[in-house]
Amino acid sequence: MSYFGDIYRGIKTLLTGMSVTGKYFLHSRKGAITQQYPDNRDTLKMFDRFRGEVVMPHNENNEHRCTGCQKCELACPNGSIEIIWDRQIDPESGKKKKMIDQHIYHLGMCTMCGLCIEACPTDAILWAQNFENSVYNRAYLTKVLNKPGSKLMPGVEE
């Protein structure tokens, strides 16, 4: 008799499984979790802390907060930050001071660990929430974070 019992139980479990998928089939419109990605670009908002790429914010006078202390360069495990600096005469104080020439960021080598941003004492670099990082040429992934002709924001000290 267990032969027929097995068949009965087997069919019952199969129907139970089908009821689960069937339920979702009927509610498929509501339950769809797919994002219509390129269409919803306008409404798509990433979380504030999302690590997209490292950026260096500039204010309206084309000034940034990077003093060139190279702490980020040291903190980076992959060598994706390179800072080219020079000692120049500060026009305000007239003293020789460390100034960045280029803050180079290799996005292609970055693992988004966030250690550089933790290490930065002046909050010069931040995370941007941009995640569309693909480019046609690998060279484009090497970015210069400070804008051309930008200066250190006055009052930012190491």
Partner 1 sequence: MNISLSITKNIHNWLFSIMPEGVASITEMVLIAVVYLAIFAVAGLYLVLLERRVAAWFQLRIGPNRVGYQGLLQTMADALKLVSKELTGTIKADKFLYNLAPYFVIVTSLMALALFPFTQEFQAFDINIGIFFLIAISSIGVIGILLGGWASNNKFAMIGAMRSGVQTISYELSVGLSLITMVLISGSLQLSEIVEVQKNGWLIVQGHVPAVIAFMIYMIAGTAETNRAPFDLVEAESELGAGFHTEYSGMKFAYFFLAEFINMFIIAAIATTIFFGGWLSPFGITESIPILGLFWFLGKTLVLIFLMMWFRWTFPRLRVDQLLTLEWKYLLPLNLLNIVLMALIVWLNLTIQF
Partner 2 sequence: MDTTTIKSNFKSEEYFINMGPQHPATHGVLRLLLTIDGEIIKKVEPDLGYIHRSIEKMCERDSYQQIVHLTDRMDYLSSHINNEAVCLTVENALQLEIPERVKVIRTILGELTRLASHQLWWGVMGMDVGALTTYFYGFRDRELINDIFEETCGARLTMNYNIPGGLMFDIHPNFVQRTKDFITHFKTKLPEYDRLLTGNVIFQKRMKGVGILSKEDAISFGASGPVGRGSGYSCDVRKHHPYSAYNQVTFNEVLKTEGDSLARYQVRIEEMWESMAIIEQLIDNIPEGEYKVATNAVIKLPKGEFYQKVETARGELGVYINSTGTKNPYRLKFRSPGFSNLSLLNHIAVGGKIGDLVASMATLDLVIPDIDR
Q: x/- binding map, residues 9-48, to partner 2, per CB under 8 A?
A: xx--xx-xx-xxx--x------x-x------------xxx
Q: Contact with partner 2 (CB under 8 A): which of 101, 118, 123, 158?
A: 118
User: What is the C-alpha separation between 154 and 137, in angstroms, rounded?
Assistant: 37
Please list every residue from 36 through 55 that binds partner 1, using CB under 8 A.
36
Does 98 interact with partner 2 (rule: CB under 8 A)? Answer: no
Query: Which residues are CB-neighbours of 122 under 8 A, at least 6 positions away?
Result: 65, 66, 67, 69, 156, 158
The candidate with the shortest Cα–Cα distance to 146, out of 75, 42, 84, 56, is 56
Q: x/- binding map, residues 44-83, to partner 2, per CB under 8 A?
A: --xxxxxx-----------------------x-x------
Does 8 interact with partner 1 (rule: CB under 8 A)? Answer: no
Buried b (16+ CB within 10 A) or exposed e, 81-111: bebebeeeeeeeeeeebbbbeebbbbbeebe
Two tokens, residue 112: 């988004």
Q: Contact with partner 1 (CB under 8 A): which of 8, 12, 31, 130?
A: 31
Q: Give contact residues for partner 1 (rule: CB under 8 A).
A: 7, 14, 17-18, 20-22, 24-25, 28, 31-34, 36
